[in-house]
Structure 1
Amino acid sequence: MAGKAARVEEYLGALEPDFRAELERIRALVKELVPEAEETMSYSMPMLKYKQRALVDYTASEKHLSFYPSCWAIEELEDRLEGFSKTVHAIRFTPAAPLPDNLIRDLVLVHVREVDAGRQ
């Protein structure tokens, strides 16, 4: 979708408006939750890093969006992910069926807790 963007703004700017709006919402929420998170690009995806470690990635594909919080967070909150397509590392969703703010918050906070605890 956004090709080989060098910056997050460039990546988001290349998306369809509804996909961009969803990823911007996630981006803003994570930055609000973890203000010290650093924004970068990794593997052609926007990433927010916390304490020099990947906190979350998010990306757009042709038909869906993906959110990568951590396998630990996905495993811990598995019971709240019914109805979403997922892998070990990612949760897929669409603008028509977005991830709820409270779920994003909890996924991010699980990962922050684990990073703070030194989990590798």
Structure 2
Amino acid sequence: MEANGQKVFDDYVVKQDEQFRPCLTELRRIILNIMPAAEESFSYQAHCFKHVYMLVGIGVTKEFCSLYTMSPPLVKSMKDELKDYKASGATIHFKPGEPLPVAIITKIVLARAKENELLALSRGKK
């Protein structure tokens, strides 16, 4: 699966502006260190990671790198920690040279994994 995920990522990152490539590569590395079994795909114009359901995604805008948390309530609950970044809805934007701290990325990925696992359990009971 890793080789496939790498190809999906390579196909995506090569299309991005040079200034964003190191940031995207580092985000992918961090996310896979936290969730090594996450499945990778390309969805909604973003490189995405799946753990049970969609976990997080990474992408770019004209001037920012973006971490798509796929959870507006999570971003809202972390508003103090994210005060130095541009956050809207479920997305956190940051300048390529000013990356999100690994601790924040870790907290988001682990919280999303837990949300997905709890959702799966709740759906399994129905």
By the TM > 0.5 criterion, same fold?
Answer: yes
Kindly provide the amino acid, as one letter, of the partner of residue 112 in structure 1: A
Matched with 2:63 is 63
Give % identity: 25
Q: Would you identify which runs of 4 or more consecutive aligned residues in structure 1 move more than 3 Å?
A: none
Matched, 1:44 2:45: yes
Deviation at 1:16, TM superposition (A): 2.9
Q: TM-score, normalised by structure 2?
A: 0.82
Which whole-Å CA distance do the structure 1 matches of 2:45 and 2:68 have between them?
13
Matched with 2:23 is 22
Question: Contact (CA 8 Å) 1:68, 1:91: kept in 2 or not?
Answer: yes
Match of 2:80, SS state, is helix
Deviation at 1:75, TM superposition (A): 2.3
Match of 1:49, SS state, is strand
Query: Alpha carbon RMSD of aligned pairs, Å?
Result: 1.8
Matched with 2:90 is 89
Unaligned runs of 5+ in 1: 1-5
More helix by share: 2
- Deviations for 1:42-84, whole angstroms, at most 9, x for unmatched residues? 0121000111x11011111221111111223212222100111
Which whole-Å CA distance do the structure 2 matches of 1:40 and 1:93 have between them?
22
Question: Contact (CA 8 Å) 1:85, 1:93: kept in 2 or not?
Answer: yes
Which whole-Å CA distance do the structure 1 matches of 2:74 and 2:32 have between them?
18
- Deviations for 1:13-61, whole angstroms, at most 9, x for unmatched residues? 122333111111111111111111100000121000111x110111112
Question: Contact (CA 8 Å) 2:47, 2:58: kept in 1 or not?
Answer: yes
Number of aligned residues: 114
Q: TM-score, normalised by structure 1?
A: 0.86
Unaligned runs of 5+ in 2: 1-6
Matched with 1:108 is 109
